Chains A and B, each alone.
Chain A
Amino acid sequence: MDFRFSEEEEAFRKEVREFIEANMTDTIRSKWLGGLLDTPERQEFVTKMSKRGWLSMGFPKEYGGTGESMPLAQYILNDELHKAQAPIVGKNLGVVVNTLLHNGSEKLKQEFIPRILKNEIQWALAYTEPEAGSDLANMQMKAELDGDEYVLNGQKRFITSAHFADYMWTGVRTDPDAPKHKGISLLIIDVPTPGMTLSPMNTVIGEQTNDVFFDDVRVPKERLVGELNEGWRYITEALTYERFAMTSFAPTIRKFNRLVQWVKDTELNGKPLRDDPVVRRKIAKLAMVVEAGRMLDLRCVCEAVRPDYVPANEAAMNKMWGGIAETVLTDEALDIMGPYGYLWHNGGHAPMDGDMVDDYLWAGHQRVAAAGVDISKNIIARRYLGLPAS
């Protein structure tokens, strides 16, 4: 048992920190988990990382990877990027590259992997639909073969990166008569393609996501990933490939530290907040939730680097705790502020410039996004505890 990072790992962490310090700007900084690559500045930041080989760590050399790499390197890289509110390097690598490597045709591997590792192309993951949220396998968007092309009709919802992505990684229904898990396939679609219409949706905190409508969108059949009607298996496997993005607890730690600093610096009702016994107990209880989350995170990482082991249960526990912790943290933080807690940005009186208000509103989103708290509990109950299906 050893809770320390190795010297080699610490040296890499230092290198990442130095890189961030040298390259990070206010324009690049993003408040949101995993900061999207939606601006030229953010894309350039990630391209600089790719030039250092940080996107290709651990991937096979024939597709532009570095081959063998330090097992915890991805974790350390994203951990530091999260702390700095910089763009992370998770989604494309974790989902697209891994799925292509395991299941894609040689042609698709050659065409896409090297460009992803150089950060030349951006992706949008398109699974969710209006009637396929938590019940993701209920996706209905049709893809019918017509000659050498699939013809797509339907709608995708909450497609976050669609307004700047080059490609869409899309789940489609290719067999409407099969049981719902058995009739799904994965297609790579150019953005834009004729017949595709984007309609922006604004979230409660102002971040853009999108509805995407498909009206006879034609996609060449060689853009099918892996085998026909095996898409659901690839999608669920890919969720567990997301080791790269698993450092979801770092943002919560950062917010907690910021709250602590604010409490230390603030007087309320004429007295230092830090001397208020109720505030002290609140901070202590939050510290416990945060430390427990950090421990679950590290445990997940330790499991993830074990050969041939997919930490699906640990990741679900991590995901669940993250949602709960964000909610408790942001709610208690605003409570400590009293009425100042409802002041939002740019008003001059808001503690932390109203950031904690955004975090509070977004915490609810974290409890429902990408297998939220309750879906994670279902996974833990069924997979880890072996409880029967409902």
Chain B
Amino acid sequence: MDMEFSEEQKTLQSTARSFLSTESPLSMAREMESNENGFSRDLWKKMADLGWFGLPHNEDVGGSGMGTVELVVLTKEMGRSLCPSPYIPTVILAGGAIAAAGNDEQKQCWLPAMISGETVIAFALQEENTFYDARSVHATAVPEGDGYVLNGTKMFVEFATAADRVLVVARTAGSPPETDGLSMFLVDPNDVNVRMEPLNTVARDRQFQMKLDGVKVATADVIGEPGKAWESLEGVIERGVVALCGYMVGASERIHEMATAFAKERVQFGHPIGSFQAIQHYLALSITEIIAADTTTFYAAWTLDEGEPSREIVATAKAFAGDTFRKASDIGAQIHGGIGYDEDMDTTLFLRRGKQYQLSMGDSGFWEDIIAEEILDR
């Protein structure tokens, strides 16, 4: 039993913190809210140069083959600065799926370019429902000529218009809730039969409804064995979800630090407001929740790396870290008082993201139902 970081993990953490504090301060998060792509290509390239995109991938495609624990060390730091980037959809989800299921040619074609920061791949799983697994997927892929034709509607596709490809999960067989019959396809977002409708999100990031209306995909762009996608996707999605937990824990830590610092400085009734128990108790409960979410997230990451049964702990981590970030962002703004709700204040960056991230990649209720299945139905 040991919760300390290794030397390597400590180095990754300190490097990331100092890099992000200068290259991606909170002003970057705000700036990218009105950027067409939702992220800075320049920052993206610099992140690539630090080797972060190869972190979860094997050495034969230019990666460093580290574990989910290291991924969480990194995404926590990204969360602390609300770093706007397609890191989770591109590097962990789409990249992870290609690495896990793709053939050698596909891996060599896409992964080195992704690792070097040249290529962005979006990830399209969820549809017009609240599930974040195989139950969500109704879109179909029917064989035709040398390839498939895709039809369906994807939702919440992040960074889709800035991407070079979108990894789309569709059914070549079966129907929800079956996991058999799912397949993965690389789709060009500029295909004439793809229509992207921007979604106006509260975090002001770039997300889209993606309509596929007879999109042709060549066999070379089918990732993995048709019908068997879930075998590799399940673990990839869990890794992505845990990475988001890390991001939320880091963001929670940051807003809590901001609120604590403010409470020490802000004087009302002749005293710093941080001396009032009403304020102290908010902050004390919140930091305890954050520490519990942090430990739960690392436990989930460690469980994935050890290859142990992970469904319940991943669900617990996402639901708990999501609830924790929402509460921390809410309390963080509250403690700032009226100014906490001023559009120009950084508190509002957290307030808007707190609710959104709790609901994305499976809302808390979705994951709670999975926890209940694991506990009550086995």
A and B: interacting chains? yes
What 0/1 pattern do residues 352 to 367 of B give for CB contact below 8 A with A?
A: 0000000000000101
- Would B264 and A386 count as touching, CB distance under 8 A? yes
Q: Is A178 an interface residue (CB 8 A)?
A: no
**Chain B residues whose CB sits within 8 angstroms of the CB of A72 once the complex forms:** 1
Q: Is B339 an interface residue (CB 8 A)?
A: no
Q: Is A384 an interface residue (CB 8 A)?
A: yes
- Would B316 and A388 count as touching, CB distance under 8 A? no
Instruction: Give Cα distance in the complex from A283 to B371, angstroms.
Output: 8
- Would A1 and B316 count as touching, CB distance under 8 A? no
- Would B1 and A301 count as touching, CB distance under 8 A? yes
Most central of B276, B302, B303, B375 by chain A CB within 10 Å: B375
Assuming A1-B298, A390-B277, is B287 touching A385 (CB within 8 A)?
A: yes
User: A321's closest neighbor in chain B, by CB?
Assistant: B288
Instruction: Give Cα distance in the complex from A260 to B372, angstroms.
Output: 10
Neighbour of A1 across the interface among B5, B371, B377, CB < 8 A = B5
Q: Which of B292-313 contact A (CB under 8 A)?
A: 292-293, 295-296, 298-299, 302-303, 313
- Would B69 and A377 count as touching, CB distance under 8 A? no
Q: Is A4 an interface residue (CB 8 A)?
A: yes
Q: Is B234 an interface residue (CB 8 A)?
A: no
- Would B368 and A285 count as touching, CB distance under 8 A? yes
Q: Is B117 an interface residue (CB 8 A)?
A: no
What 0/1 pattern do residues 376 to 390 of A give for CB contact below 8 A with B?
A: 111011101111111
**Chain A residues whose CB sits within 8 angstroms of the CB of B299 once the complex forms:** 3, 295
- Would A302 and B3 count as touching, CB distance under 8 A? yes
Q: Is A188 an interface residue (CB 8 A)?
A: no
- Would B280 and A387 count as touching, CB distance under 8 A? yes
Q: Is A336 an interface residue (CB 8 A)?
A: no
- Would A2 and B1 count as touching, CB distance under 8 A? yes
- Would A385 and B292 count as touching, CB distance under 8 A? no
**Chain A residues whose CB sits within 8 angstroms of the CB of B371 once the complex forms:** 283-284, 287-288
Most central of B272, B292, B367 by chain A CB within 10 Å: B292
**Chain B residues whose CB sits within 8 angstroms of the CB of A376 once the complex forms:** 284
Q: Is A172 an interface residue (CB 8 A)?
A: no
**Chain B residues whose CB sits within 8 angstroms of the CB of A384 once the complex forms:** 284, 287
Q: Is A15 an interface residue (CB 8 A)?
A: no
Q: Which of A280-302 contact B (CB under 8 A)?
A: 280-281, 283-285, 287-288, 291-293, 295-296, 298-299, 301-302
Q: Is B104 an interface residue (CB 8 A)?
A: no
- Chain B nearest Cβ from A265, distance in angstroms: 11
Q: Is B343 an interface residue (CB 8 A)?
A: no
Assuming A1-B5, A292-B293, A302-B3, is B274 touching A388 (CB within 8 A)?
A: yes
- Would A4 and B1 count as touching, CB distance under 8 A? yes
Q: Which of B261-278 contact A (CB under 8 A)?
A: 263-264, 271-272, 274-277
- Would B281 and A374 count as touching, CB distance under 8 A? yes
**Chain A residues whose CB sits within 8 angstroms of the CB of B298 once the complex forms:** 1
Q: Is B320 an interface residue (CB 8 A)?
A: yes
- Would B368 and A299 count as touching, CB distance under 8 A? no
Instruction: Give Cα distance in the complex from A285 to B346, angstroms.
Output: 31
- Would A260 and B376 count as touching, CB distance under 8 A? yes
**Chain B residues whose CB sits within 8 angstroms of the CB of A116 once the complex forms:** none
- Would B376 and A263 count as touching, CB distance under 8 A? yes
Q: Which of A343-389 contact B (CB under 8 A)?
A: 374, 376-378, 380-382, 384-389
- Would B1 and A295 count as touching, CB distance under 8 A? no
- Would A288 and B319 count as touching, CB distance under 8 A? yes
User: B303's closest neighbor in chain A, by CB?
Assistant: A3
- Chain B nearest Cβ from A247, distance in angstroms: 13
- Would B264 and A302 count as touching, CB distance under 8 A? no
- Would B69 and A299 count as touching, CB distance under 8 A? no
- Would B69 and A1 count as touching, CB distance under 8 A? yes
Neighbour of B260 across the interface among A1, A9, A387, CB < 8 A = A387
Instruction: Give Cα distance in the complex from A378 to B277, angstroms.
Output: 7
Instruction: Give Cα distance in the complex from A387 to B284, angstroms.
Output: 10
Q: Is B289 an interface residue (CB 8 A)?
A: yes
**Chain B residues whose CB sits within 8 angstroms of the CB of A296 once the complex forms:** 288, 291-292, 295
- Would A281 and B365 count as touching, CB distance under 8 A? yes
- Would B284 and A385 count as touching, CB distance under 8 A? yes
**Chain A residues whose CB sits within 8 angstroms of the CB of B287 once the complex forms:** 317, 380, 384-385
Instruction: Give Cα distance in the complex from A349 to B361, angstroms.
Output: 44
Instruction: Give Cα distance in the complex from A200 to B293, angstroms.
Output: 43
**Chain B residues whose CB sits within 8 angstroms of the CB of A9 once the complex forms:** 1
User: B365's closest neighbor in chain A, by CB?
Assistant: A281
Instruction: Give Cα distance in the complex from A320 to B283, angstroms.
Output: 13
- Would A284 and B319 count as touching, CB distance under 8 A? yes
Most central of A280, A281, A385 by chain B CB within 10 Å: A385
Instruction: Give Cα distance in the complex from A296 to B290, angstroms.
Output: 11
- Chain A nearest Cβ from B375, distance in angstroms: 6
Instruction: Give Cα distance in the complex from A387 to B273, angstroms.
Output: 9
Neighbour of B289 across the interface among A260, A280, A292, CB < 8 A = A292
User: B73's closest neighbor in chain A, by CB?
Assistant: A1
Neighbour of B285 across the interface among A284, A285, A377, A390, CB < 8 A = A377
Assuming A2-B302, A5-B1, A385-B287, is B281 touching A377 (CB within 8 A)?
A: yes
Neighbour of A387 across the interface among B4, B274, B377, CB < 8 A = B274
Instruction: Give Cα distance in the complex from A389 to B299, angstroms.
Output: 35
Most central of B276, B287, B288, B371 by chain A CB within 10 Å: B288
Assuming A283-B375, A287-B371, A390-B277, is B320 touching A320 (CB within 8 A)?
A: no
- Chain B nearest Cβ from A83, distance in angstroms: 17
- Would B295 and A295 count as touching, CB distance under 8 A? yes
- Would B295 and A298 count as touching, CB distance under 8 A? yes
Assuming A280-B372, A281-B369, A385-B283, is B296 touching A295 (CB within 8 A)?
A: yes
- Chain B nearest Cβ from A295, distance in angstroms: 4
Q: Is A274 an interface residue (CB 8 A)?
A: yes
**Chain A residues whose CB sits within 8 angstroms of the CB of B277 once the complex forms:** 374, 377-378, 381, 390
- Chain B nearest Cβ from A315, distance in angstroms: 12
**Chain A residues whose CB sits within 8 angstroms of the CB of B313 once the complex forms:** 291
- Would A260 and B69 count as touching, CB distance under 8 A? no
Q: Enumerate chain A interface residues (CB-CB to B < 8 A).
A: 1-6, 9, 72, 260, 263-264, 274, 280-281, 283-285, 287-288, 291-293, 295-296, 298-299, 301-302, 317, 320-321, 374, 376-378, 380-382, 384-390
Q: Enumerate chain B interface residues (CB-CB to A < 8 A).
A: 1-6, 9, 69, 260, 263-264, 271-272, 274-277, 279-281, 283-285, 287-289, 291-293, 295-296, 298-299, 302-303, 313, 316, 319-320, 323, 365, 367-369, 371-372, 375-377
What are 13 A-to-B residue pairs whose CB atoms are below 8 Å?
A: A3-B3, A3-B299, A72-B1, A283-B371, A284-B368, A284-B369, A302-B1, A377-B281, A385-B280, A385-B283, A387-B279, A387-B280, A390-B275
Q: Which 5 A-B pairs have the closest CB atoms?
A: A381-B280, A284-B368, A292-B292, A280-B372, A380-B284
